[in-house]
Amino acid sequence: MHPRRWTEFAIESLIRVLGLSSIGFVLLIFLFLLKEGLPAFLQVPPENLLGTRWYPTFDLFGTLPLILGSLLVTATAISIALPLGVATAVFVREVAPGWAREVLKPMIEVLAGIPSVVLGFFGMTVLAPLVRETLDAPTGLTAFTGGLVLAYMALPTIISVAEDALDAVPKSYRDAGLAMGATQWQTIWRVVVPAARSGILTAVMLGMGRAIGETMAVMMVTGNAARMPTTIDSLFRPVRTMTATIAAEMGEVARGSTHYHVLFGIGIILFVITFVLNLVAAGAIFKKRRRGGLR
Amino acid sequence: MRPKIRVDHLSFYYGDKQALFDISMEIRERQITALIGPSGCGKSTFLRCLNRMNDTIPGTRLEGRVLLDGQDVYAPGTDVVDLRRRVGMVFQRPNPFPQSIFDNVAFGPRVLGLCRGRDELEEVVERSLRDVRLWDEVKDNLKQDALSLSLGQQQRLCIARVIAVQPEVILMDEPCSALDPIVTLGIEELMKRLREQYTIVIVTHNMQQAARVSDWTGFFWLGRLVEMGPTGDVFTRPQQKLTEDYITGRAG
Ligand SMILES: Nc1ncnc2c1ncn2[C@@H]1O[C@H](COP(=O)(O)OP(=O)(O)OP(=O)(O)O)[C@@H](O)[C@H]1O
Ligand SMILES: [Mg+2]
């Protein structure tokens, strides 16, 4: 064969091997998760697993408080980050003068790079005392504090992706709105934001994905009490998330024990939840695109 | 007859670059005025001066006056939003919002608060769609995404959207350049009908179109208005050598 053909062949093979192996690794991790986690669902009866009490030392593996804990913290984070993020994106893209935009955009992207442990530390030393004092609560390490920190972590992603989505809305839509006699705000809220809907949804899903899988910061600020967040004031009480549970307990369980398998089982549940969220988001975006609306 | 719009010594600048030079013209009520001229001569810029759409471009500057019914639209304190309701605009590429057909036409009445109640809104939407002869084609799919319409239908929808707020003047910037000849003829028919109610200013590259639909024709060249007069005169007995050369295809 010609030498040129050889190098072509070598490069192509290399790329193929690299590509396949990264898919392979993901698959292996997934299989490992299943192998270690599935026994939990066999060894522990469902009424125990779906119970409301998490005391592994007494063989009580109720995951409900952990799942609800994760959902509560994530929902809090999103309900703070979504309006704030979209409003900021609108401000940066639609209102701020050109130079401010040039400064703000990279600054927001830098925020995304702050390590979560730093944010956790900040949450512990600044936010938690603040929450405790303002609410006059016994502790500042609450679901709400966790939500605040997570909202902060999700914000840069949401702002930056939503801003891109707004930016992709053609100028012709804005012109049409303004030429109809709509004010700038009416044009933004009734034309531009709806036109960017799918991009904004993606932004929120990405932010949410980051929030629900986040561990370190959450562990540091939520107080980690595995109580059912079913009372009205649960938002301002300590809570424990799935991620924090795995991270905190994995180090001290005996390999192969029931507790060990249950921790992996929680990993599977977390995986399924994230997967479904992504699916819903992708479905919404796909539907939109098929209607020919994604521009 | 008093003109609907009178432009007095209008000059326009994009930053340091002057795009329009001392333009004066009168636009008659319930007539179609066509603006022709080579690419880049300032036709769109001029059109956008009439409803202050150039305000949205930073760094632009304007001298002179634009009088709508005798009122300077650039006078301090002018309500730009109201001006744009009175002077509607149809763009070169059909630009319906990525929303339903109904919502597109209802947009103007809604933001301007023109209708009381759903019934009145539905009436306005139907009337506007009938005016542009689109009603029969879409009346069963008003909830459908406007972007799923053909380009010709989209452009008629955009015209319906403008009509829905009952403007007095309709500005059209090459409204047919993205459309095929048959659809173009349809839009021209539409313009002739709309002329009974509205004052229309149309920018076009298509000389035949200008000759076919318009009552008045203005010829632009390098940011200046070279000649303006009744369409028949401009096309058959142009006063200026430049106009004649352009119309006969020797310049441009
Ligand atoms: N947003 C802008 N910023 C700077 N210069 C501009 C802008 N828009 C137009 N111009 C300039 O102003 C001049 C007139 O442009 P305009 O778009 O009005 O021409 P036109 O006659 O409509 O051309 P066409 O027939 O190609 O649409 C051109 O030289 C153009 O480069
Ligand atoms: Mg133009």
Report the share of chain B in percent with pLDDT over 70.
Answer: 99
* Contact between A182 and B99 using a beta-carbon 8 Å cutoff: no
Q: Is A31 inside a domain boundary? A: no
Kindly list the residues from chain B whose CB atom is less than 8 angstroms away from the CB atom of residue A175: 53, 56, 89, 91, 95
* Contact between A179 and B53 using a beta-carbon 8 Å cutoff: yes
pLDDT-based confidence at residue A134 (cuts at 50, 70, 90): confident
Centre of ligand 1 to C-alpha A218, Å, is 55
Kindly list the residues from chain B whose CB atom is less than 8 angstroms away from the CB atom of residue A186: 111
- Rounded to a whole number of angstroms, the distance between the first and last alpha carbons of chain B is 34
Task: Count how many domains chain A has.
Answer: 1
Kindly list the residues from chain B whose CB atom is less than 8 angstroms away from the CB atom of residue A181: 81-85, 88, 108, 111-112, 165
Is the pLDDT reported for residue A278 higher than 90? no
Segment A15-60, tens digit of pLDDT: 999 999 999 999 999 999 999 999 989 988 888 888 888 888 888 8
Res A285: pLDDT: 67
Say what the pTM is: 0.79
Q: Is A20 inside a domain boundary? A: no
Q: Is A250 inside a domain boundary? A: yes
Is the pLDDT reported for residue A212 higher than 90? no
* Contact between A180 and B85 using a beta-carbon 8 Å cutoff: yes
* Contact between A292 and B111 using a beta-carbon 8 Å cutoff: no
Res A292: pLDDT: 44
pLDDT-based confidence at residue A181 (cuts at 50, 70, 90): confident
B contact residues 170-189, partner A, Cβ 8 Å cutoff: none
- B55 to chain A: closest CA residue: A178
Is the pLDDT reported for residue B147 higher than 70? yes
State the ipTM, two decimals.
0.86
Beta bridge partners of A131: none
Strand arrangement, sheet containing B71-72: B17-27, B5-14, B60-68, B71-72
pLDDT-based confidence at residue A224 (cuts at 50, 70, 90): confident
* B91 touches A: beta carbon within 8 Å: yes
User: What is the span of the domain harbouring residue A73?
Assistant: 46-290
Kind plus residue range of the DSSP H or E element containing A129 = helix A128-135
Rounded CA separation A85/A78 (Å): 10
Mean pLDDT of B47-68: 94
Q: Is B206 buried (19+), middle (13-18) or exposed (0-12) by CB count in 10 A?
A: middle
Q: Could you say which of A180, A182, A195 has the minimum Cβ distance to residue B98?
A: A195
Res A290: pLDDT: 53
In CATH, which of 3.40.50.10860, 3.40.630.10, 3.40.50.300, 3.20.20.70 is domain B3-247? 3.40.50.300
Residue having the nearest C-alpha atom to atom 26 of ligand 1: B39
Q: Is A34 inside a domain boundary? A: no
Give the HSE-up count for residue A152: Cα atoms under 13 Å, Cβ half-sphere.
Answer: 19
Ligand nearest to the CA of A175: 1
Q: Are A293 and B103 in contact (CB under 8 A)?
A: no
Q: Is A39 inside a domain boundary? A: no
Is the pLDDT reported for residue A293 higher than 50? no
Rounded CA separation A129/A140 (Å): 6
pLDDT-based confidence at residue A287 (cuts at 50, 70, 90): low
Res B2: pLDDT: 78
Of residues A224 and B43, the one with the higher pLDDT is B43
Is the pLDDT reported for residue A221 higher than 80? yes
Centre of ligand 2 to C-alpha A286, Å, is 35
Phi, psi of A169 (to 5 degrees): -70, 125
Q: For residue A228, give Cα distances in angstroms to A50, A77, A144, A150, A212.
A: 12, 19, 15, 20, 18
Res A294: pLDDT: 40
Segment B157-206, tens digit of pLDDT: 999 999 999 999 999 999 998 888 888 898 899 999 999 999 999 999 98
Question: Domain holding A173: CATH number?
Answer: 1.10.3720.10
Res B252: pLDDT: 57
Is the pLDDT reported for residue A295 higher than 50? no
Mean pLDDT of A210-233: 83
Q: Is A219 inside a domain boundary? A: yes
Kindly list the residues from chain A whose CB atom is less than 8 angstroms away from the CB atom of residue B51: 179
Q: Is A25 inside a domain boundary? A: no
Is the pLDDT reported for residue A1 higher than 70? no
Residue matched to tokens 């679901």: A143
Q: Is A295 inside a domain boundary? A: no
pLDDT-based confidence at residue A230 (cuts at 50, 70, 90): confident
List the one residue out of B64, B50, B51 whose CA is nearest residue B18: B64
Q: What is the mean pLDDT of chain B?
A: 92
Of A138-142, B15-19, B47-51, B185-189, which gets the smallest average pLDDT?
A: A138-142
Domain ranges of chain B: 3-247
pLDDT-based confidence at residue B251 (cuts at 50, 70, 90): low
